[in-house]
Amino acid sequence: MAQTYLYQKTNHYFGQLASGSEKCGMAELREFGAKSIKPGYLGVYFCANQRTLCEIVYRSRIFSRILAPLIVFDCHSEKYLYKTAQNIDWADFLTLTKTFAITVNVADSNIRNSKYAGQILKDSIVDQFREKTGERPSVDTRNPDLLLNLYIHKNKARISVDLGGGSLHKRGYRIESVEAPMQETLAAAIVRLSGWKGERPLHDPFCGSGTLLCEALMAQCNIPAAYLRHKFGFLRLPDFDAAVWNQVKTKANAAIGELDEGLIKGSDIDAGALKAVRANRAALPEGGKIKVRRADFQSLEGFENTTIITNPPYGIRLGDTEGTTALLKEFGDFLKQKCTGCSAFVYYGDAALAKKLGLKPGWKQPLRSGGLDGILCKYELY
Ligand SMILES: C[S@@+](CC[C@H](N)C(=O)[O-])C[C@H]1O[C@@H](n2cnc3c(N)ncnc32)[C@H](O)[C@@H]1O
């Protein structure tokens, strides 16, 4: 019989998210019915039953990983990591025909090298199989059947199963990309923070590959965030309940609604971006109703009663700080002169750029993503 693992004893899980998205993530968890929600380091602890957990994995827009802890232990050395990992019966999660991989986060601990720590855990798993069967399961870092997470902070280690089987920001609609695309989970947090609920049109004048437009569509039409994903890590849990999982998916898919024509629109100056956004929207139900066109924002006639959500170019990634400064000043003038009665939510990949717009934000929310110290600012345009 399978052992009882930590998540089974406690019903406690951990959701990883980007710094700045904690409140959004916690609100989302409350909506799904999770309990005992507490912020942690780059994530949130919560308690959930199987059904709620399935909902979270299938529908969360904000979390990048949902982790089920198998074991937590004091870990001062590689030797101890190897030995303690042997206490898990890995046959509960893996067979010789299944592949696995390990993501590792290590901070403030005797074990400093995360790559090496991952290697030790891998060896421990492989050796256990070898001793019992003479054979070993293979590692597949690109598309593993089982994805584990090893987290060591202040010499306390936690080994978990990654229930998404990979980062949940990979929704499956990014068919084509642009130079500086936004991460899907970040775009979802921005749409949520904007408070937009489809009550008036939404436009992204720097839409790029359309991440903000696609996330707005998914939120508006109740499209589950993992609707296009095919693989899920929690199918590898020994107590995985396929009936509950299928019920959750069927119910969530049945709740997908329609999009009003013209409610979500975008524009971009670059032909490549237009090609990308057209390919991406086509992957999603109702995606064909997102209207996009090629235009310099300066040539747009302006907006009325519209929510503008956008991510203008920024120097760090696009490599032209002076050009970015001038463009932001012009965009600020555009908002002031041609967008009265609108709200604008502008995400800057570099927080220092917020000053260049020449408008005073009503509020600001730092949001980190992909190693960038970004910030979201709200402007009410009277
Ligand atoms: C940071 S990217 C936006 C990325 C987008 N959020 C995504 O997820 O793909 C900025 C976009 O602004 C566009 N852009 C630059 N100058 C522009 C202008 N004057 N008018 C309209 N779009 C412009 C670029 O082509 C680029 O696609």
**pLDDT at residue 56 in the model:** 98
Helix, strand, coil: what percent of the chain each, to 5?
35, 25, 40
42: domain CATH number?
A: 3.30.2130.30
Verify that 156 and 48 share a domain, yes or no. Answer: yes
Report the alpha-carbon distance of residue 372 to residue 141 in Å, rounded.
Answer: 25
Report the alpha-carbon distance of residue 134 to residue 91 in Å, rounded.
Answer: 14
Q: Whose CA is nearest to atom 13 of ligand 1?
A: 206
pTM attached to this predicted model: 0.95
Beta bridge partners of 146: 100
**pLDDT at residue 323 in the model:** 85
Q: Whose CA is nearest to atom 10 of ligand 1?
A: 313
Q: Which atom of ligand 1 is nearest to the CA of 317?
A: 1
Which residue is it, tokens 């220092």? Answer: 352
**pLDDT at residue 367 in the model:** 96
User: Looking at the domain assignment, is residue 27 inside a domain?
Assistant: yes
- What is the arithmetic mean of pLDDT over 6-32? 97
Q: At 42, is the pLDDT very low, low, confident or very high (cuts 50, 70, 90)?
A: confident
Q: Report how far ligand 1's centroid is from the alpha carbon of 364 (Å).
A: 21
Q: Report how far ligand 1's centroid is from the alpha carbon of 166 (Å).
A: 28
Closest CA to 213 of 140, 287, 151: 287
Pocket test for ligand 1, best of 268, 292, 318, 346 (most atoms within 8 A of CB): 268
Report the alpha-carbon distance of residue 368 to residue 349 in Å, rounded.
Answer: 8
Verify that 38 and 134 share a domain, yes or no. Answer: yes
Q: Whose CA is nearest to atom 18 of ligand 1?
A: 296
Q: Whose CA is nearest to atom 20 of ligand 1?
A: 296
φ and ψ of 86, to 5 deg: -70, -20
Q: Report how far ligand 1's centroid is from the alpha carbon of 207 (Å).
A: 6
Q: Report how far ligand 1's centroid is from the alpha carbon of 269 (Å).
A: 7
Verify that 134 and 14 share a domain, yes or no. Answer: yes
Verify that 15 and 56 share a domain, yes or no. Answer: yes
Q: At 314, is the pLDDT very low, low, confident or very high (cuts 50, 70, 90)?
A: confident
Helical residues (DSSP H) of 238-270, grouped into ranges: 242-254
Q: Report how far ligand 1's centroid is from the alpha carbon of 204 (Å).
A: 9
**pLDDT at residue 288 in the model:** 97
Verify that 212 and 150 share a domain, yes or no. Answer: no
User: What average pLDDT does the structure give for the chain?
Assistant: 95
The number of folded domains in the chain is: 2
pLDDT digits (tens, 9 = 90+) for 172-227: 999 998 888 899 999 999 999 999 999 999 999 999 999 999 999 999 999 999 99
Which domain does 131 fall in, by range? 6-162
Alpha carbon distance, N-terminus to C-terminus of the chain: 66
CB 93, CB 161: distance < 8 Å? yes
Q: Which atom of ligand 1 is nearest to the CA of 208?
A: 27
Report the alpha-carbon distance of residue 329 to residue 342 in Å, rounded.
Answer: 18
- 2, pLDDT greater than 60: yes
- 14, pLDDT greater than 80: yes
Q: Report how far ligand 1's centroid is from the alpha carbon of 268 (Å).
A: 6
Verify that 279 and 145 share a domain, yes or no. Answer: no
pLDDT digits (tens, 9 = 90+) for 110-137: 999 999 999 999 999 999 999 999 999 9
Q: Whose CA is nearest to atom 19 of ligand 1?
A: 296
Q: Report how far ligand 1's centroid is from the alpha carbon of 181 (Å).
A: 9
**pLDDT at residue 320 in the model:** 62
User: Looking at the domain assignment, is residue 276 inside a domain?
Assistant: yes
- What is the arithmetic mean of pLDDT over 248-275? 97
In this structure, what token pair is assigned to residue 48?
A: 């959930």
**pLDDT at residue 371 in the model:** 78
User: Looking at the domain assignment, is residue 218 inside a domain?
Assistant: yes
User: Looking at the domain assignment, is residue 143 inside a domain?
Assistant: yes
pLDDT digits (tens, 9 = 90+) for 140-168: 999 999 999 999 999 999 999 999 999 99
- 233, pLDDT greater than 90: yes
Report the alpha-carbon distance of residue 17 to residue 44 in Å, rounded.
Answer: 8
CB 293, CB 200: distance < 8 Å? no
Q: Report how far ligand 1's centroid is from the alpha carbon of 209 (Å).
A: 8
Verify that 152 and 202 share a domain, yes or no. Answer: no
Residues 6+ apart with CB under 8 A from 10: 47
pLDDT digits (tens, 9 = 90+) for 69-106: 999 999 999 999 999 999 999 999 999 999 999 999 99
CB 137, CB 195: distance < 8 Å? no
337: domain CATH number?
A: 3.40.50.150
Q: At 319, is the pLDDT very low, low, confident or very high (cuts 50, 70, 90)?
A: low
Verify that 301 and 366 share a domain, yes or no. Answer: yes
Q: Report how far ligand 1's centroid is from the alpha carbon of 208 (Å).
A: 5
Beta bridge partners of 2: none
**pLDDT at residue 373 in the model:** 87
pLDDT digits (tens, 9 = 90+) for 352-378: 999 999 999 999 999 998 778 899 999
- 49, pLDDT greater than 70: yes
User: Looking at the domain assignment, is residue 135 inside a domain?
Assistant: yes
**pLDDT at residue 1 in the model:** 54
Residues in contact with ligand 1 (CB, 6 Å cut-off): 178, 180-182, 205-206, 208-209, 211-212, 268-270, 273, 296-297, 311-313
Verify that 145 and 195 share a domain, yes or no. Answer: no
User: Looking at the domain assignment, is residue 235 inside a domain?
Assistant: no
Q: Which atom of ligand 1 is nearest to the CA of 209?
A: 9
Verify that 101 and 194 share a domain, yes or no. Answer: no
Pocket test for ligand 1, best of 214, 269, 300, 324 (most atoms within 8 A of CB): 269
User: Looking at the domain assignment, is residue 200 inside a domain?
Assistant: yes
User: Looking at the domain assignment, is residue 231 inside a domain?
Assistant: no
Q: Report how far ligand 1's centroid is from the alpha carbon of 291 (Å).
A: 16
Closest CA to 354 of 339, 342, 367, 341: 367
Lowest mean pLDDT among 17-21, 46-50, 189-193, 323-327: 323-327
Lowest mean pLDDT among 40-44, 189-193, 266-270: 40-44
